[in-house]
Amino acid sequence: MESGEWILARAERDGPAPHLLWAIGRIGARVPFHASGHLCVPARTAEEWIARVLALAEAPADRAFALAQLARRSGDRARDVDDAVRAEVLRALKHARAPDTLVRSVREVSAAGRLSPKMRDSSSAPAGLRLIEEEAEGAPGAGPKEHA
């Protein structure tokens, strides 16, 4: 939680750069790409972060990914944010004309998959984010492994 607080404080002070918004979305995600759901920040923390992201003076579309990750429906009452907060995020996503996949992830439970093809495209990923290839131990020539 400390890293999320630091990122939000920096975004509030210096302006919400795309890489900061992406990072806060991933740190506060309700459904992790990899790891157990019990490692998510508490729902109350995610709700506080949503309020702070909504308050940032940034184009609505630029906040969409972070908001969707923070409010994503997991199906676990302990991890899911309050319905009123989720409704506020859905209004913000509609205003931002966010992609249907982001809206759907907030509205209904869906499995978190691998990074989307758009996120794999280096031109749409935040500055500094790089996907690296690793070979699995004992498996020569294994395919790329994604890190988020």
Q: How far is CA 15 from CA 20, 56, 107, in A?
A: 9, 8, 29
Same domain, 72 and 8: yes
Q: Do residue 45 and residue 84 come from a single domain?
A: yes
In this structure, the answer to whether residues 80 and 99 fall within a common structural domain is yes
Residues 62 and 104 in one domain: yes
- Which one is predicted more confidently, 27 or 1? 27
Residue 33 contacts residue 112 (beta carbons within 8 Å) = yes
Q: Could you tell me if 74 and 93 lie in one domain?
A: yes
- Asked if the model's pLDDT at residue 119 lies above 90, the reply is no
Name the nearest CA neighbour of 70 among 80, 78, 62, 58: 80
Assess whether 120 and 100 both reside in one domain: no
pLDDT > 80? residue 49: yes
Domain residue limits at 135: 114-148
Do 74 and 17 belong to one domain? yes
Instruction: Indicate whether 106 and 127 sit together in one domain.
Output: no
Both 124 and 59 in one domain: the answer is: no
CA distances from 12 to 3, 59, 112 (A): 14, 14, 29
Work out how many domains the chain is built from and give that number.
2
Do 73 and 136 fall into the same domain?
no
Based on the domain organization, do 96 and 66 belong to the same domain?
A: yes
Domain check: are 73 and 23 in the same one?
Answer: yes
Q: Is 18 exposed, middle or buried (0-12, 13-18, 19+ CB in 10 A)?
A: middle
Question: 121-146: per-residue pLDDT in tens?
Answer: 333 455 555 544 544 444 444 444 44
The predicted pLDDT at position 102 comes to 93
Residue 88 has pLDDT above 90, yes or no: yes
* Confidence (pLDDT) at 117: 45
Instruction: Check: pTM over 0.85? Answer yes or no.
Output: no
